[in-house]
Amino acid sequence: MNPSTRPSSTSDTLTNDNIVIRTENVSIFYGAFQAVRNVFLDVPKHNVVALIGPSGCGKSTLLRCYNRLNDLIPGARVEGKISYQGVDLYDPKIDPVEVRRRIGMVFQKANPFPKSIYENVAFGARINGFKGNMDELVERSLRGAALWDEVKDKLKESGLSLSGGQQQRLCIARTIAIEPEVILMDEPCSALDPISTLRVEDLMHELKKRFTIIIVTHNMQQASRVADMTAFFNAEATEGGSRFGYLVEYDKTYNIFNSPKQQATQDYVSGRFG
Amino acid sequence: MTSISPGSEETLIDSSIKFQPERLINQIFRWVTIVMAVSVGVILLWITYSLLQIALPAIQAFGLGFLTNSTWNPVEEIYGTFPQIYGTILSAFLALLFAVPLGVGVAVFLTENFLPPKVVTPIAFIMELLAAIPSVVYGLWGIFVFLPAIRPALQVINKAFGWIPFFSTVPGGRHLFGASLVLAIMILPTIVAISRDTMTSLPPQLRQGAYGLGATRWETITRVLVPAGLSGIIGSVMLALGRAVGETMALAMLVGNANKANISWFSPASTIASLIANQFGEASGLQKSSLFYGALILMILTLLVNILAQMIVGRFQQVE
């Protein structure tokens, strides 16, 4: 398949109103190396969108561009247009700090701060100059992350004293405490046991009522369980030997797993490679 | 059972009797390391014992009054080291006051992507060179270059803020304040090197987590990274304090060696180390004994600093 052609998508079923993030012909570079090529991808509101594909296909790279976290990597560069509610995220006038306050992120490895559970959740609100009732916000966020009952008696203990699954839900609580509109999740369950994974997945169903979620996952069952829409990325080698990622197919999750239009998608979801 | 015949037992015994060079080397190595390990302890005990033994006449003569008495009179054989203890602690404190913010700032500046790696490497190298300069060189530079250079500024401070007791004397050629500034430069590399190691060893996920929540670089550094690396930073400060308390040559050259505890930082002062460096040549009898008493106090002081450092570092590690 020629990766520069626009993959089939369901954008005809989406109206402009309910698109939160629009990705138009985006390519991502690290220095001279092109990591991701010509991606078109629209994210509808209150949906869970899964990005799947083999390692090195650029799905995490793309995810990190949605809240401009790739800015932190020297030499990273984005071409094309990523817009959030109609605003170009890479407009020079845009403050990346402000972007990250509206588009939160949960990472692959749970990364609570070496602070108390309470302070972990309160951190984002504090730096945002939150004036309201902090206790209430912390409780609400921890409830939202389905963690409150487990930690309500030990809010003063270190966030690092929790189990891996609890830490990841703490990170989710920390993220929803800043009331973002979109939550990016970079393989949030890859370090968790199956039971913790199920809890986080249940949580995602709950969270999408309030937020829009984009999740990168290696786990195809997870994508089929949680995602409304799924985008399949693949990697291809260039003449120079380096690899770049591109979007193969983006459709309703059911279609991606049951009647994909591209052969590569069919091969991947049926486990023939990747 | 039948496979273990008496014959195989014999070969086992044989092989242990047979000369094996590796085995011998192993034995020798074992003994050499034991001797080395023990000798470190023996030397420490020897030093402590001789300090106590030689200081004993002074301890018996002056007791704890040695710590509070300001007289150092070889003619009448009355000795006290209050000005020296005061000068030691104050000079170390002033040095930390300047070196800690600067050192932590440099460490953060070198680690948090403010500068391209091409610039960071030479700066880090220069910081390490700073630690390699012998203290007598610092002393010489301080007395002929640095102190004259800062004197006009100190005179201005004295004129403007002379009503504050700390700045109340007109700064002369040598004074506690100038000595402390040079001391600050000397301990800076210790703080920078260890704080920098701590900051670079922090997991990158912490940084991303803070940025991902919409923290600015300043908020990420001050609210997440520095608190997370606090144990290492405090450890570096304590090591620097240990060095500042014991530093001898540069202070003996710069501090002025006045046997008087003065509230003003701009007046000449003395430290325990500078006192010993200045007097050991002609000391005998009770004076020598008093110098050893001073050395003992200095040793206890640095020991306390180190114990305190261990306690603080341990406490912060528990929180993490």
B141 confidence band (pLDDT: 50, 70, 90): very high
pLDDT digit string, tens, across residues B178-195: 999 999 999 999 999 989
B53 confidence band (pLDDT: 50, 70, 90): very high
B228 close to A (CB below 8 A) = yes
Give chain A positions within 8 Å (CB) of B219: 127
State the pLDDT at residue B13.
Answer: 56
B207 close to A (CB below 8 A) = yes
Taking CB atoms and an 8 Å limit, are B113 and A100 in contact across chains?
A: no
CA torsion angle A103 A109 A114 A119 (round to 10): 40
State the pLDDT at residue B155.
Answer: 87
CATH of domain A16-273: 3.40.50.300
Which comes out higher in pLDDT, residue B101 or A270? B101
Secondary structure of chain B as H, E, C letters = CCCCCHHHHHHHHHHHHCCCHHHHHHHHHHHHHHHHHHHHHHHHHHHHHHHHHHHHHHHHHHHHHHHCCCCEECCCCEECCHHHHHHHHHHHHHHHHHHHHHHHHHHHHHHCCCCCHHHHHHHHHHHHHHHHCCHHHHHHHHHHHHHHHHHHHHHHHHHHHCCCHHHCCCCCCCCHHHHHHHHHHHHHHHHHHHHHHHHHHCCHHHHHHHHHCCCCHHHHHHHHHHHHCHHHHHHHHHHHHHHHHHCCHHHHHHCECCCCCCCCCCCCECCHHHHHHHHHHHCCHHHHHHHHHHHHHHHHHHHHHHHHHHHHHHHHHHHC
- Quick check: B7 pLDDT over 80? no
Give chain B positions within 8 Å (CB) of A111: 203, 205-206, 208-209
From B216, B227, B319, residue closest to A97, measured CB to CB? B216
Angle between helices A117-127 and A134-144 (to 10 degrees): 110
- Count interface pairs A-B at CB distance under 8 A: 75
State the pLDDT at residue B4.
Answer: 47
Question: Do A93 and A173 touch, CB atoms closer than 8 A?
Answer: no
How many other C-beta atoms are found inside a 10 Å radius of the C-beta of residue B252?
22
Q: What is the mean pLDDT of residues B106-119?
A: 86
State the pLDDT at residue A15.
Answer: 55
pLDDT digit string, tens, across residues B212-227: 898 988 999 999 999 8
Question: Do B215 and B66 touch, CB atoms closer than 8 A?
Answer: no
Taking CB atoms and an 8 Å limit, are A74 and B211 in contact across chains?
A: no
Q: Which helix (H) or strand (E) holds A120?
A: helix A117-127
B224 close to A (CB below 8 A) = yes
State the pLDDT at residue B306.
Answer: 83
State the pLDDT at residue A12.
Answer: 45
Q: What is the residue extent of each domain of chain A?
A: 16-273
Which residue, among B211, B213, B225, would best test binding to A if mutated, counting the most A CBs under 10 Å from its CB?
A: B213
From A74, A160, A174, residue closest to B213, measured CB to CB? A174
What does residue B205 show for φ and ψ, rounded to 5 degrees?
-60, -30
Taking CB atoms and an 8 Å limit, are A124 and B213 in contact across chains?
A: yes
Give the whole-angstrom CA distance, residue B242 versus residue B143: 23
B12 confidence band (pLDDT: 50, 70, 90): low
Taking CB atoms and an 8 Å limit, are B213 and A123 in contact across chains?
A: yes
pLDDT lower than 50: segments of chain A: 1-13
B18 confidence band (pLDDT: 50, 70, 90): low
From B208, B215, B319, residue closest to A111, measured CB to CB? B208
Which residue, among A73, A118, A119, A127, would best test binding to B if mutated, counting the most B CBs under 10 Å from its CB?
A: A127
Percentage of chain B modeled with pLDDT above 70: 92
Residues 256-295 of B with CB under 8 A from A: none
Its sign, for the CA torsion A59, A62, A66, A71, is positive
Quote the mean pLDDT of chain B.
87
| Predicted-complex ipTM score | 0.83
How many other C-beta atoms are found inside a 10 Å radius of the C-beta of residue B105?
13
Taking CB atoms and an 8 Å limit, are A171 and B209 in contact across chains?
A: yes
